[in-house]
Amino acid sequence: MATPEWKKWTIADAGTVKDIADTAKELAEQIKTTSTLATTAMGIVKIIAELQSANIFLKALEAIADELIKSIQDMKDAGYYYLYVDPYSPIKNVEPVTEKSYGFEQLRDDSGRPLYWNTNAPDPEATTTHSVPAPMQHVFEPKLAMPRKLVAGGWSPYTNSTVDPFSLMSPFPKYSAEQVLKTMAEAFSDPGDVPKYERIQLEGPPAVNPTKGDIVFNEQGDPVAGYDPEIVYGEQLYNMGSKNRSGSDHTNEDLKNGMWKSSRIKINAKIKSGKPNIQGNTEFGAGSSAIVMLIAAPSYEIFIESFNAFSKLFSDIPEFMEASLDKLMDTYKEFTDPPLQTINLTMCDSQYGLFAVGDVIRGVNYGGLGTISEILSTEATSIVSTALYTITDDIGITRRTLQEKDGNSTGRYQDMVITIKPIATKEANAVETFTPQDSVREQEIKGYWGVAPEKYPNYMTKGAATFQFKGVSATQFEETSPMSKRKGISKRIYPKYGTVSMQKLTVPVESISPDFNTIASYQVIPMWNEFFEMLENFVVSVKGYIATSSAFIQDMIDTLNELIEFLEEMIETITKFLAFFEVDLSGAGIYALHIEDQQEGNAGLASGITSASGLPKNLGYAAGIVFVGVEVGGFNALDKFMAPILMA
Amino acid sequence: MAEIRSIVMSKKAPEWKKANPERTDVKELLNKTKKFAEMYLKVLEERRGHWKTFLEKERKKEEENGNS
């Protein structure tokens, strides 16, 4: 897994916005030239008078082209450092944590409160309580389910917490807002995050392509040894310096007099910007500022919705473009809405009750869990055995004979084919499969685990609290009084049960449209690809127009027709494209922090990030991005260009 | 003895706030490109009209020359 790294971003210099900007600029420049050429062509055919009305437009058109070129230039000039802390996407650079501890399953009351009892009391069962009086705590112990079962959030002798572990569990890995901010603050002082330069393979003589062991030169023009083209270095290197490789002066007078600076060639290129290295300066006002955007929510569902919206809007930042959001959504859908399964059960004992729609079942040894949504078939289990009998006739002669015996003549045991809606388990944080030969037991809800709104029912085997061994403890329930024994009243609650014979492959149910499809970036933004294809074609057409305009008038009219059609399409596309950016994120879990121009450098920014107030608590799921801008000549581009976008 | 203390006005501490980010930069760029395309469309339409008129006149001239 990668670690969070500082990178450089210019609004109009990354991803798709770069494409828009480059193409629009090229287009504007192209059209300015074309307009001039066309005017000249028209002058030649002496119809300038007829074109007066068009010339007004031409002037305005050129003005807009200038404005367009200027705004693209402005945006391109404004570059920032950014750091993206990403715990959730497939290219995550920090590891979120799943809070989960295993222990023995502890019995709980109907409200879900863990139960305790005093096993040394004459009637331990009668001491069962969810609330142990303080002076009695040393004699009470957790009332564990029998048979013992290791479950998530169970009781462990190694954890001595008074907090119910169920209240700390979450089905989705967590990386809180505080952790994101801490990661950001630490990244300001990461010693390994420095600029990195990789070799450029240049064409030319060996002098511009130094090989391993050659002397090369640094920014100051000093020679450096130990060069290896395969190694990524932390500084810009050149093929030429202030002196020769041997250390003697340049023989060429121009080079000797300083021309070496303009004549030298870069032999490597920056591949990583490294962290902003702002030391802070109170005397000269080397100010720096930062804008932090946090996408954070108390629930995973709201988080992924917010993240989705934010990343689509900012898909010109490479990480947001690359982050496939399907995985995030899939995790959530797999947990909350898994597909149906069909299971064949055998030996379902009707004496304990046959399974019915709505019953929740779970494997005894393996984790499969689900609610029965349909009983597809029920038929008597075939239990036929062949026995060898010896029969004696009335004169005493014996004979052996084989006889078939139906072990299920009363139909007590039934085979059932059922459809279940699987339920993700707290152990796997996902749906578990049912395993052949494993028994399944009816379940009941005993409290909830997780924190609202991600609270899920805790299922335990029905009657687990009344489970007993024949013998010592049998009297506790079954024979609590001679009267109940005579009446055959038993407090033991028996779950329905059966055995898994196999899990069937299921063909997914036909969905009801509209479906949630896998969305690629070009689908996310309407006509994303078409837009750029059109821009490209437009420029090509304009070039063709210049070549043919003066030759054939009819050809020119045809070309104009095509161009007009193209422009109409382009305007329509831009209108749709614009609609995509009309996204209201006011309801999403997005928080912003603007640390305005300050003088303490990296340290001041880091401290500002961790000490700012006003962030809501309990934002358990979070990702974030911090932009850093440096004041140059009294001007901080971040505050001018970025703040209006992000702090709207 | 009374002590003279200077009061240093500190900058307002940064605070988190709920954000509703907007891509005004991209919208602005697209709006300008759109306006630009609309203007150019008008120019082209004008120009097409004039070329058509010019072509028509040329044809008429040719016809008249041919007839005479």
**Residue-wise pLDDT tens digits, A4-31:** 666 655 544 444 445 555 555 665 666 5
What pLDDT was estimated at residue A360? 95
CB pairs under 8 A between A and B: 178
- Residue A398 clears pLDDT 70, i.e. is over it: yes
What pLDDT was estimated at residue A524? 32
- Residue A517 clears pLDDT 60, i.e. is over it: no
At A428 the three-state DSSP class reads coil
What pLDDT was estimated at residue A533? 46
Give the model's confidence band at A58: pLDDT under 50 very low, under 70 low, under 90 confident, else very high. low
What pLDDT was estimated at residue A359? 95
Written as one letter, the residue type at B3 is E
What pLDDT was estimated at residue A78? 59
Rounded CA-CA distance B51/B45 in Å is: 10
What pLDDT was estimated at residue A440? 93
pLDDT, tens only, A196-224: 788 877 666 666 778 888 888 888 888 88
ipTM confidence score? 0.76
Which letter, b or e, does each residue of A91-101 get, where b requires 16 or more Cβ atoms within 10 Å of its Cβ? Answer: ebbbebeeebe
Written as one letter, the residue type at A613 is S
The verdict on a CB contact (< 8 Å) between B21 and A648 is yes
Query: Cα dihedral angle (A86, A87, A90, A92), rounded to 10 degrees?
Result: 60
Q: Which of B13, B27, B53 is closest, CB to CB, to A612?
A: B13
Average pLDDT over residues A102-127: 88
Q: Which of B13, B28, B48 is closest, CB to CB, to A71?
A: B28
Q: Which residues of A touch B59 (CB under 8 A)?
A: none
**A60/B39: higher pLDDT:** B39
Name the most confidently modeled range: A234-243, A319-328, A524-533, B23-32. A234-243
At A503 the three-state DSSP class reads strand
Nearest to A171, CA basis, from A425, A460, A369, A360:
A425
Helix or strand holding residue A595 (H, E) = strand A590-598
Rounded to a whole number of angstroms, the distance from the CA of B31 to the nearest CA of chain A is 8
**A446/A51: higher pLDDT:** A446
Give the model's confidence band at A545: pLDDT under 50 very low, under 70 low, under 90 confident, else very high. very low
| Weakest mean pLDDT among A215-229, A463-477, A591-605, B20-34 | A463-477
Q: Name the one residue in this structure whose structure tokens are 């007009």.
A: A564
What pLDDT was estimated at residue A405? 86
Task: Look up residue A466 and give its DSSP letter.
Answer: G
The verdict on a CB contact (< 8 Å) between B34 and A571 is yes
What pLDDT was estimated at residue A37? 46
**B36/A277: higher pLDDT:** B36
Rounded to a whole number of angstroms, the distance from the CA of A244 to the nearest CA of chain B is 49
Asked if B56 has any chain A CB less than 8 Å from its own CB, the reply is no
- Residue A292 clears pLDDT 80, i.e. is over it: yes
Rounded CA-CA distance A448/A456 in Å is: 5
- Residue A74 clears pLDDT 70, i.e. is over it: no
Q: What is the mean pLDDT of chain A?
A: 75
Average pLDDT over residues A429-436: 86
Q: Report the length, in residues, of chain A.
A: 648
Average pLDDT over residues A445-465: 88
Q: Which residues of A touch B47 (CB under 8 A)?
A: 38, 51, 54, 560
pLDDT, tens only, A139-198: 899 999 888 888 988 998 887 677 888 888 888 888 899 999 998 888 887 777 777 788
Q: Which residues of B touch A316 (CB under 8 A)?
A: 26
What pLDDT was estimated at residue B64? 86
Rounded CA-CA distance A85/A626 in Å is: 9
Q: Which residues of B touch A15 (CB under 8 A)?
A: none
Q: Which of A567, A594, A611 is closest, CB to CB, to B40?
A: A567
Rounded to a whole number of angstroms, the distance from the CA of A630 to the nearest CA of chain B is 18
Asked if B41 has any chain A CB less than 8 Å from its own CB, the reply is yes
Helix or strand holding residue A607 (H, E) = helix A601-611
Q: Name the one residue in this structure whose structure tokens are 């990480």.
A: A319
Asked if B60 has any chain A CB less than 8 Å from its own CB, the reply is no
Name the most confidently modeled range: A118-127, A199-208, A496-505, A549-558. A118-127
Q: Which residues of A touch B31 (CB under 8 A)?
A: 578
The verdict on a CB contact (< 8 Å) between A293 and B21 is yes
- Residue A603 clears pLDDT 90, i.e. is over it: no
Q: Which residues of B touch A575 (CB under 8 A)?
A: 34
Instruction: Express as a percent the part of chain A with pLDDT over 90.
Output: 11
The verdict on a CB contact (< 8 Å) between B36 and A71 is no
Instruction: Express as a percent the part of chain A with pLDDT over 70.
Output: 71
Rounded CA-CA distance A627/A638 in Å is: 8
The verdict on a CB contact (< 8 Å) between A17 and B29 is yes
What pLDDT was estimated at residue A483? 45
Q: Chain A residue closest to B40 (CA)?
A: A61
What pLDDT was estimated at residue A518? 26
- Residue A539 clears pLDDT 50, i.e. is over it: no
- Residue A613 clears pLDDT 70, i.e. is over it: yes
What pLDDT was estimated at residue A414? 93
Handedness of CA A138, A142, A147, A150 (dihedral sign): negative
